A and B are shown apart, each in its own frame.
Chain A
Amino acid sequence: MRGTSTTVPLQNPSLFNNPQSSLAGALKGCIGSLDGACLEKLLLHCASALENNDVTLAQQVMWVLNNLASSNGDPNQRLTSWFLRALISRASRVCPNATNNNNLHNLERRLMSVTELAGYVDLIPWHRFGFCASNSAIYRAIEGHTKVHILDFSITHCMQWPTLIDAIAKRPEGPPSLRISVPSWRPPVPPLLNVSSEEVGLRLANFAKFRDVPFEFQVIEELNNDMLLGQLSPSTLQLRDDEALVVNCQNWLRYMPDDEQIKGVISSRDIFLDRVKDLNPCIMTIVDEDCDLGNTSLTSRIATCFNYLWIPFDALETFLPKESRQRLDYEADIGHKIENIIGFEGNQRIERLECCNKFSQRMENSGFMSVPFSEETIKEVKSLLDEHASGWGMKEEHDMLLLTWKGHNSVYATSWVMVPPQMDMRIHE
C-alpha cells in the first residue's frame, strides 16, 4: 500500500484509501491499489489526455475508471463516478455530430417538495451552519429596529428564514415587521423545488402569521440574470426609508461572474458588491464554500475539487447506508456541481468558488469591513454542531467562522458592514 512508497508528499493531491482486497494489496505502488489517490490520478490523467487531444489515452483511462467507480460504492468510488461522468460529458461535447448535444447538457433535474428540502438542508450541517451564523448576526444587527427588509440571494429557497422568524417572534420588545425579497432569477443549480418562489413565500407568510410576526414577501421580477446588476437599485427593489436593510448572500456570490472570463471588463462580482453597498444595508451576511475553483486549468480544478468534495461524501458515509435515498440524492446534487465545474468552460461554467481568504480580500477592496460574530453566535453554532456527527467542528479566523469536517475547511460564514467614508482607506481613481 502507500506505506511502501518512500515519499509521502502531503502536497500530493492524493486521497484517502480504500479497504483493500488481498489481490490489490499484493500489488506495489499506489497505482496498484484502489485508493483515492489512484482514482484521483486516473481522473487527472484522463483530463490531461483530453486537454492534449489524446483521445486514445482518454478512452482507455475512462474505461479503467468505469470499472473502478461506482455511484453505490464507498465515498471514493462514488465521488469518482461523478467526476467520470462529468469528463465523459465534456468529451462528448466536443463531438457534436455524434450526438445531440442538448440532451447531454440537460442533467436530470430532481425536484423536491418544500418539506423534502427542509429535511435536505439539515441532513448535514453544510447549510444549517451558515443559516445559524447569519441569522444570529442579523438578529443582533436589527436590534432596536422595528422594520426590517431582507434581500435574500440564496440557492436554498428561503430555508434559512423560519428560524429567524422564530427568533424575532420571541424578541422581548416585540417582533419587528419583516419583509423578505428574493430575485426572480436563480442559478440553475440544485437544490430544486417543485413549487415557485411565490408559493414558498406564501408558506413563510403563513408561518409568520402563526408566530404573530408582521410579514411581507415579494419576488422581484426584474432581477433576472441579465439585468441583475442593473436592477439593484432602491426603486426596483422597492426599498423603504424606514426599514433596516439586510442583504443575505448564501452560496450566491460564486455565481456572479468574475473578471477571469470577461477580460477587460470589471468583474460582475465586484459590481454586485458595489451596488449592494450603494443600497446602504445595515449588515451583509455572506456564506459560501471555501474552495478555489477559479483556475483555468482543468487538471488543477479536478485536483482541487476532488480534494474538497470528499468532505460531504465522507460525512454522509458516516451515518447513512450506501443505498440511502437521501444520500444518493445529495450526492447527485454534488455531482451536478462537478458536472459544471469539470464539464464546462467559459460562460457556461458557473461554479466559480473562491477561497475565503481571497473573498475576504475582495470584500475589503470593495469597501466593506468584517464584523466579528458574537460569543453568543459562536455558542449557538457550537451547540448546533454538537447535535450532528462528531466530525463536524468550527473554527474562527479573522472574523470568519469556518465549518470543518475532521479539521478540513468546508463552509465559511461572514458578516460585513460598510466602511464609514472617513475610514475608507482605499485608493479611488
Chain B
Amino acid sequence: MPVDPDNSSAMNDSTGSGEASVSSSGNQTVPQNESGKKKRNLPGMPDPNAEVIALSPKTLLATNRFVCEICSKGFQRDQNLQLHRRGHNLPWKLRQRSSNEVKKRVYVCPEITCVHHDPSRALGDLTGIKKHFCRKHGEKKWRCDKCSKKYAVQSDLKAHSKICGTREYKCDCGTLFSRRDSFITHRAFCDALAQESAKALPEKPPNANEEPNKRVVASSSPPSTPPARSPATESQLPPPPPPALPPPAAPKPLMTPAIPPSTSVMSFVSSVQNPELRENPNPNSAGTATKQVIEETAAVASSSSSCSNVSTTSSSVFGSLFASSTASGSLPSQAPGFPDMFRAMAPELAPPSSTEPISLCLAMSHGSSIFRQAGQERRQYAPAPQPAMSATALLQKAAQMGAAATSSSLLMGFGVMSSNASSSNGQQEWSGRPIDTDAGLGLGLPCDAGSGLKELMLGTPSVFGPKHPTLDLLGLGMAASVGPTPGLSALIMGSNLDMATAGGSFGSGDFSGKDLGRNS
C-alpha cells in the first residue's frame, strides 16, 4: 500500500505516542448493516461508508501534525508539508497521494465521555475535530483583553476580538444587540417604536405592572420592582384594536419602561456573544429571572383562554409520573416534572416556592447546578446529574417490581385517576424515589412479569420472539394470559443489541398498521 502522508502521520502518532485511542473500528471501513436491509442515510447521520478515525489527544492538540517522513520536520498544514516534500526530490511515485484519499473520513473525539466519541456523531473534517477537542477538552489559555473571556482555541479569540465592543446596536427601549438583524427585528416590534410614532402618551410611572408585553424577564438590578403578576392587566390583552387606531390606543400600554432592559435579553445577548461560556454571568439574576418568568407565564396563561381549559387531570398524569422526591404527596396539585409549563397551565397552583431545579428522574441529584465551569478547565467532564442506577439495574428493578404489582390499569398506574388519589396505588408508587419503592411498580402488572423477565435474563435473547399475549390492560379486548416478556430481557442482555439486528423487527414489516394510536 503506497505511503499516504496523511494516514502515515496519523499512524505514526498513534503507534508512536502509544496514546492512540483508535476505536475498534479504527481505520477499517465500517461494516454494513448485517441484516442486509437497505441502508438509510438517516438525517443527522454522516455517510455510513465513511472511515471513522480516532486520533489521540496528543495528535489533536499537536500543532505540527503533518510530519515529513524523510526528515521528520513538522508542519501545521498539509499543504505546507506537501510543498516541503517537493524539495526532497522524491521519485514520482512517492510524490503522489494514495488513491485511497477519495474515501470520506470522519473523525471521532477520543474523549470517552464526549458526545462526539460515538461514530454516528463524528465530525466531518480534521480541523473541526481538532478545534472541537481543543475547545471542549482543552485548556483555555487565550484571554480577551477587553472583556476577559477565555478561549481554548486562538482563532476563537481572534474572532471574538473582532466584534468585542465594536458593534452594538441599541434599541430605544434600552436593549443592546450585537447583531444587526436581531436588532432590526426587535426594533420593528418593540413598543418603543410604536410609542415614538404615536407621540401621544403621557409619561409613565415606573410601574412594571403596565407592561405585559414588554416584560421578557425581570431586570436583574432592582429586585425592588419585580414585575408583579397582574392578571387584571393581562386580561386586557384582547382582540386587537381596529386598524384605524394607532397602536398605542390598544389596551396594552406602550410606554417606556422605567426599569432597565430585561435580564434575560441581556443574558441572552451576552450568552450569544459568549458561545464558549457555560456559566451564566449573573447567576443570581438568572435565578430571580427564572422565577419571575414562571410567575409571569402563569399570569399570562391565566388570561389566555386557550390555556385555561387544561385541567389538573393532565397535570396529575405527569405530576404523578414524574413527581420529584420533594413532592408533598398531593400529587394532583403538584407538577414538578415540567415545572414552568404546568404552572402556566394551572394558574391556581401556588407559584413555585423555590427555583430548585426539578427533574423528571426521582433518583437524580439536584446538583445540576454543576455548571460546566470546572469541567471546562480540565479534560474531565463534570458529570451531568446521573440516576443512581444504571439502565440495566433499572431494568432489573422493573422486572422485580413487576412481580409484586397489584392490579390497576396502565393509566391508573400513571396516576391519571386523580379522583382516587388516596386509593390508587399507582400514585403512591411514583411519589417516592424509585429505588426506595418496594411495593411494586404500580403500573398495573397483574401478570407475573417478574419471573418471566428473570428467566429471560438468563435465557437466549430472542429479541422479538413469538408474540406473547399479555393481559388486556388497555381494555382492547385481546386475549389475556401470563407470559414472559422477551423484549425486556433482550434489553437487559443487550450488549450488541443494535438496530442492525433488530432492524428487521422494527422495520415496517411486522409493525405497521398496528399502531395503537390509530384512531381515524
Contacts and interface: CB of A to CB of B under 8 A. Distances in A.
A108 B185 contact: no
A387 interface: yes
Contacts of B216: 113, 115-116, 119
A2 B216 CA distance: 43
Given A92-B414, A297-B512, A210 B193 contact: yes
Interface stretch (B66-74, B91-99, B285-293): B285-293
Interface of A is mostly: helix
A64 B115 CA distance: 22
A207 B172 CA distance: 13
Nearest to A345: B518
A113 B213 CA distance: 5
A67 B322 CA distance: 9
Nearest to A291: B43
B471 interface: yes
Interface stretch (B3-11, B141-149, B336-344): B336-344
A324 B313 CA distance: 28
Contacts of A16: 114-118, 120-121
Contacts of B300: 111, 194
A202 interface: yes
Nearest to A117: B189
A203 B32 CA distance: 56
A206 B48 contact: no
B317 A99 contact: yes
A92 to B, nearest CB: 5
Contacts of A122: 179, 181-182, 185, 272
Interface stretch (B12-20, B81-89, B222-230, B353-361): B353-361
Given A60-B398, A106-B314, A290-B43, A53 B120 contact: no
B402 interface: yes
Interface stretch (B57-65, B200-208, B492-500): B492-500
B391 A61 contact: no
A109 to B, nearest CB: 5
A238 to B, nearest CB: 15
A17 B112 contact: yes
Contacts of A419: none
Given A20-B113, A344-B517, A88 B357 contact: no
Interface string B485-503: 1011011111111111010
Interface string A87-113: 011111111011110011010111101
Interface in B155-178: 156, 159, 163, 178
A13 B474 contact: no
Contacts of A92: 317, 410-411, 414, 416
A390 B471 contact: no
Given A8-B25, A111-B301, A407-B123, 14 more contacts: A2-B117, A3-B21, A34-B386, A59-B443, A92-B411, A108-B338, A110-B297, A113-B212, A291-B44, A319-B275, A323-B286, A324-B271, A324-B286, A387-B178
16 contacts: A30-B495, A32-B495, A48-B505, A59-B410, A66-B321, A90-B517, A92-B317, A98-B411, A109-B301, A121-B185, A132-B181, A195-B213, A297-B507, A307-B42, A325-B293, A346-B520
9 closest A-B pairs (Cβ-Cβ)? A29-B495, A162-B188, A16-B115, A98-B411, A207-B188, A31-B494, A70-B359, A346-B520, A74-B384
